[in-house]
């Protein structure tokens, strides 16, 4: 092959790839051209579902095409997440991401997917705090009194969670690790049953997302001791942060976001992320999240992928230190 012929072929290939890239860019800019499925691996009506539906509704309004919430509960979110892992990587199936996505790699052997290989980040949505709440019969009125009381009675205090490996569970385990306390974990099938037993005094405490317990705190049916985060929560201004209460470094913030099957085009993920960021900047969205004790959290697809890796590593450390094993 002559040098001149080689140059002609290189130029031709360049033009071909350039044209293909241009067509792909146009397709990405036009996305979506049909309904998008948004898989939430929880049943309707839980604390996660309203946030997912809010995002779906606002994206539908922006795009002129339906974003259909597909609730696929079961298996500690494994059932719905597996459905997502098998979907075509074309941007027309996206999924919820949160604490269970981060914890299951360390909890469940032989997952039907690899969290770090089979998914890519799209966008983060929010960060939710955890508030330590106790039954009113617990005599402690601040964090230091509570720690001293629990230390004096190892194994006598039970904390309720929404299930093994959940944020509410691992917050309690992290608390044990940082304070040298020994509280006993009582898992429930969701925050609702856990809160019911806490209100009834069958367990003494829980680390809950604020939306679940704010009404009961305000009604005096639960006592709030401290809350995670760098600043006080506007919905609970009377509750000090753990740092203010002399336990710096505690807090397992619950991050939620959107993921997609691996190889979903970056251009499409970028568009979704930009549109989600626009939604999160809206005052109505910020007010909606504030009422749930959450804060908008904006990230690019690349940053979201990095967050997933960081959270998987962080959850793994807590799980291994606590010796938590999977309970089918």
Model confidence pLDDT, tens digit, residues 218-244: 999 999 999 998 899 888 999 999 999
Query: What is the pLDDT, as a whole number, of residue 328?
Result: 56
Q: Are 120 and 305 in contact (CB under 8 A)?
A: yes
pLDDT interval class at 326 (50, 70, 90): low
Asked whether the bond before 309 is cis by omega within 30 degrees of 0, the reply is: no
Q: Does residue 117 have a pLDDT over 90?
A: yes
Query: What is the pLDDT, as a whole number, of residue 195?
Result: 94
* pLDDT tens readout for residues 24-46: 444 456 899 999 999 999 888 76
Rounded distance, CA 283 to CA 256, Å? 19
Type and span of the H or E element at 254: strand 254-261
> 199 by DSSP, 3-state: which?
helix
Q: Does residue 250 have a pLDDT over 90?
A: no
Rounded distance, CA 288 to CA 191, Å? 20
Say what the alpha-carbon torsion angle 96, 100, 106, 112 is, to the nearest 10 degrees.
-50
Average pLDDT over residues 180-205: 94
Residue 35 in tokens = 């309904």
Other beta carbons within 10 angstroms of residue 213's beta carbon come to 24
Query: What is the pLDDT, as a whole number, of residue 106?
Result: 94
Query: What is the pLDDT, as a whole number, of residue 90?
Result: 98
Phi-psi region of 145 (alpha: psi -120 to 50; beta: other; left: phi over 0): alpha
Query: What is the pLDDT, as a whole number, of residue 164?
Result: 86
pLDDT interval class at 296 (50, 70, 90): very high
Domains of the chain, with CATH numbers?
A: 34-127+254-322 (3.40.190.150), 131-227 (3.40.190.10)
């Amino acid at each position: 092959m002559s040098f001149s012929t080689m140059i002609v072929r290189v130029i031709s290939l360049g033009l071909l790839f350039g044209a293909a890239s241009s067509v792909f860019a146009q397709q990405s800019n036009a996305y979506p051209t049909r309904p998008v499925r948004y898989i939430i691996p929880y049943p309707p009506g839980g604390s996660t579902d309203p946030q997912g539906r809010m995002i779906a509704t606002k994206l539908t309004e922006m795009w002129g095409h339906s974003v259909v919430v597909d609730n696929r509960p079961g298996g500690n979110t494994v059932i719905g997440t597996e459905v997502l892992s098998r979907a075509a990587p074309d941007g027309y199936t996206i999924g919820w991401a949160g604490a269970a996505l981060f914890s299951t790699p360390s909890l469940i052997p032989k997952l039907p997917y690899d969290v770090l290989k089979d998914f890519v980040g799209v966008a983060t949505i929010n960060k939710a705090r955890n508030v330590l709440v106790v039954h009113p019969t617990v005599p402690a009125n601040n964090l230091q009194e509570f720690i001293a009381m629990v230390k004096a009675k190892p194994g006598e205090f039970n904390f309720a969670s929404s299930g093994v490996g959940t944020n509410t569970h691992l917050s309690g385990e992290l608390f044990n690790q940082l304070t040298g306390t020994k509280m006993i974990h009582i898992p429930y099938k969701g925050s609702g049953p856990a809160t019911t037993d806490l209100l009834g005094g069958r367990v003494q405490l829980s680390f809950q997302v604020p939306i679940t317990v704010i009404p009961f705190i305000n009604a005096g049916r639960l006592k709030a001791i401290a809350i995670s985060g760098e600043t006080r929560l506007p919905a609970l201004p009377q509750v000090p942060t753990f740092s203010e209460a002399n336990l710096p470094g505690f807090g397992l913030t619950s991050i939620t976001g959107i993921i997609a099957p691996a190889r979903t085009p970056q251009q499409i993920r970028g568009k979704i992320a930009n549109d989600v960021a626009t939604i999160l900047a809206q005052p109505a969205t910020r007010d909606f999240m504030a009422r749930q004790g959450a804060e908008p959290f904006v990230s690019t697809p690349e940053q979201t992928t990095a967050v997933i890796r960081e959270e998987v590593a962080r959850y793994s450390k807590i799980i291994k230190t606590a010796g938590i094993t999977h309970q089918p």
